[in-house]
Amino acid sequence: QADIIERIIHSTADFDFAETTHFSPNAVEAGIAALKNGCPIICDVNMVRVGISQPRVADLGGTIDCFVAEPVVRQRAEAAETTRSAMGIRWAAEQGLIDGGLVVIGNAPTALFEAIKLIDEGVRPALIVGVPVGFVSTVESKAALAEVTAVPWITTLGRKGGTPVAVAVVNALLRLAVDAKAEEVD
C-alpha cells in the first residue's frame, strides 16, 4: 500500500492522498497477481489508457483497452441514455474482458457505478481501481465501491482523484508485478 500511496502523492503533489486512499483487504496482492498473469486492463477513458505503462503491460502479456470511442458503445449508450464510459465498461464485460481483469476508473463516476452493478450481476474483476474526480456523483460512487465485499478495490474517498491518480495506482501495481515476476525467475 505504501508504494501506491507514494506514487499517487508523487504524481499529484497532494499529501491528502495519504489519508484518503483506501484499500480493501488483499487489494494490492490481487492486483499484482492478476497483472503477473497478463490480465486485461479496462479503462473508463482514453486519458487513463494512454498513461498506463504499455511496455510493462506488454512484458506481462496483458492488454489495455478503453471502449468509449467504439461505434457500438456510442450507439448503445445513446439508446440506454447513459454515458459512453459506463457502456464501455458493460460492453467490455460482455466481451469477457472484465472477469479476472483490472477495471480502472479515473474520471467517470457513471462507469464506477456500472462496474459495481456488474459485480452485483456476478461479474468478478480481479481488482477495481475506482478514483473518479469531480463534483457530480463522485463521492457517492466511491462510497458505494467501499461497500463492495465480493471484489478487491482501491479508492480515494472524497472528490479528489482523476487520471493522474488512476495511472499512478496502476503503474505502481505494474512495477510491483514486474518485480515479483522477476523474483520468480531468479
3-class DSSP assignment, residue 103: strand
Angle at 50 between CA 149 and CA 57, to 5 degrees: 65
22 as an active site residue: the answer is: no
Which three cell numbers, joined as nine digits, stand for 150? 465480493
Which residues make Cβ contacts (< 8 Å) with residue 90, sequence separation at least 6?
Answer: 76, 114, 118
Catalytic residue, chosen from 1, 10, 18, 78, is 10
Give the active site residues.
10
